[in-house]
Structure 1
Amino acid sequence: MITKFKTALAAAALLIAATAPSFAEEFAAPNTWAPPAAYADADTGENYDIVVGDPNAPITIYEYASLTCPHCKAYQELAADEVQEKWIDTGKAKLVYRHFPLDQSALAAALTVQCLPADKRYDAVKLFFKNVDKWAQNPEGLIAVLKDSYGKDFTFAEGKDAKDSLIECMNRKEFAQKSLKAMLDASQNGVNSTPYFIIDGEHVRGANPAEKMGEIIQKHLDAKVSK
């Protein structure tokens, strides 16, 4: 499977390599880039973003993260659940999670997530962060983590072996390019670290505590009310 994984990931890895120079760029002025609201397939309508919360919430939190990034994992452990409970589950904000894989293992995990049904993708993100030690050095561990959660019969396509169905998904035409389009755009517009948030237009770097994230969200909510 590892050899097949390497074949399936080769084109996507080239995409990451092509963007590498922009990762090192630093912008003297605050970044004001506004990301596209959504990434979707024009033909099928498939949404490549992972959206959590009310789609019509007044505040949008864009999160760019790499599934092997220790700072991204720290944010998940220390702040993400509280931010979701206080701001997303209450309808004040929605989260748009976007993959920003910084290495080959994170790339494998990101594409594995995207091969899942939309309603399972954010759960898989959290599973992979929680169990990163079980898969970061071995791509077969990604499937093992999913089977531990969903049962030994888990597969990406009914009636097919989990490994074969995952590789088949990854080999779909332009699948990797479309799944990583958000990362490519972001890396060309000043997003050069993870985790990286854009909250109602404000760029916020790093694994900030829930209290700090809440202050930023509330500030933008107040600004909308005052208009």
Structure 2
Amino acid sequence: MSLRRRTLIAAMPALALATPLHRAFAADPRLSPRLIGNPKAPVRVGEWFSLTCTHCAHFEMTVFPEVKEKLIDTGKIAYVYHDFPLDQIALLAAMLARSLPEDRYEPFVNSLLSSQDRWAFAPDINPKDQLQRMAALAGLSADQFHKIDQDDTLRQALVNQQDDDQAKYNIGGTPYFRFNNNPYTEELETFEAFNEQVQKAGS
């Protein structure tokens, strides 16, 4: 099931139509940027992704390992994750990831994307139950999981941020990339294609 050009959280009317919550979320560390690599690198790459997007999972498994090895770990780029959940399960997964200590965010996201076919789309499974099991492996207790699941303030904050990003960048699907200020909306199937955009942004 491809989610790349799926309508953006059309299945979230309860949040969209609810009484608006205050947007004063700046003090919440869970909403701070999730960045890996050199924050002073000349090229900053932003990825907007959904944890139930199959194209995002494909990129994570086939291209990102080389990006991390050759560009992130060497300090050539700063890589910033932007949550852009396409459904309620992806939104809960993003909430869980952001509730972990910052140094566990990227490994947890990597784990969810690389095993997406087993927890999100496998037949005869409950994705929420699978998320709870994976969250437990990441260090979240059952009580913490349920507290996060019931945290409508965090849920609304992530939806608000997604709405702001959509209005600003007109994101048509995931994954969506920006290399410095240069948008890239096509699929990046190889490290070479990714690195070409890095070189263009840094020139």
Q: What residue number does 2:65 align with?
A: 81
Matches of 2:94 and 2:30 in 1, distance apart? 16
Matches of 2:56 and 2:89 in 1, distance apart? 15
Q: What residue number does 1:60 align with?
A: 44
Matches within 5 A, 1:116-135: 116-135=100-119
Please give the per-residue CA displacement for 1:82-129, whole angstroms capped at 9, x wherever unaligned: 111111111111110011111122112111111211110111100101
Structure 1: 5+ residue runs without aligned partners? Answer: 1-11, 19-39, 156-161
Any conservation in 1 of the 2:119–2:130 contact (CA below 8 Å)? yes
Q: State the Cα RMSD in Å.
A: 2.4
Matches of 1:127 and 1:75 in 2, distance apart? 13
Matches of 1:173 and 1:81 in 2, distance apart? 34
Q: CA deviation at 1:193?
A: 0.4
Q: CA deviation at 1:47?
A: 4.2
1:205 aligns with 2:185: yes
TM-score (norm 1): 0.71
Q: What residue number does 2:154 align with?
A: 175
Please give the per-residue CA displacement for 1:149-175, whole angstroms capped at 9, x wherever unaligned: 45xxx32xxxxxx22212213434621
* Corresponding residue to 1:93 among 77, 84, 94: 77
Q: 1:140 to 1:207 in 2, by over 3 A?
A: same
Give the AA of the match of 1:207. Answer: E
1:48 aligns with 2:32: yes
Matches of 1:79 and 1:192 in 2, distance apart? 21
Deviates more, 1:98-107 or 1:193-202: 98-107
Q: What residue number does 1:106 align with?
A: 90
Give the AA of the match of 1:165. Answer: Q
Give the AA of the match of 1:143. Answer: Q
Larger Rg: 1
Any conservation in 1 of the 2:43–2:201 contact (CA below 8 Å)? yes
SS class of match (2:46): strand
Matches of 2:40 and 2:163 in 1, distance apart? 26
SS class of match (2:108): helix
TM-score (norm 2): 0.78
Q: 1:141 to 1:107 in 2, by over 3 A?
A: same
SS class of match (2:86): coil
Give the AA of the match of 1:144. Answer: R
Q: CA deviation at 1:141?
A: 0.6
Q: What residue number does 2:53 align with?
A: 69
Give the AA of the match of 2:55. Answer: H
Q: 1:108 to 1:206 in 2, by over 3 A?
A: farther
Give the AA of the match of 1:96. Answer: V
Give the AA of the match of 2:112. Answer: F
Q: CA deviation at 1:49?
A: 2.5
- In the alignment of these two chains, the number of paired residues is 180
Matches of 1:138 and 1:219 in 2, distance apart? 40
Q: 1:180 to 1:102 in 2, by over 3 A?
A: same
1:13 aligns with 2:12: yes
Q: 1:197 to 1:15 in 2, by over 3 A?
A: farther
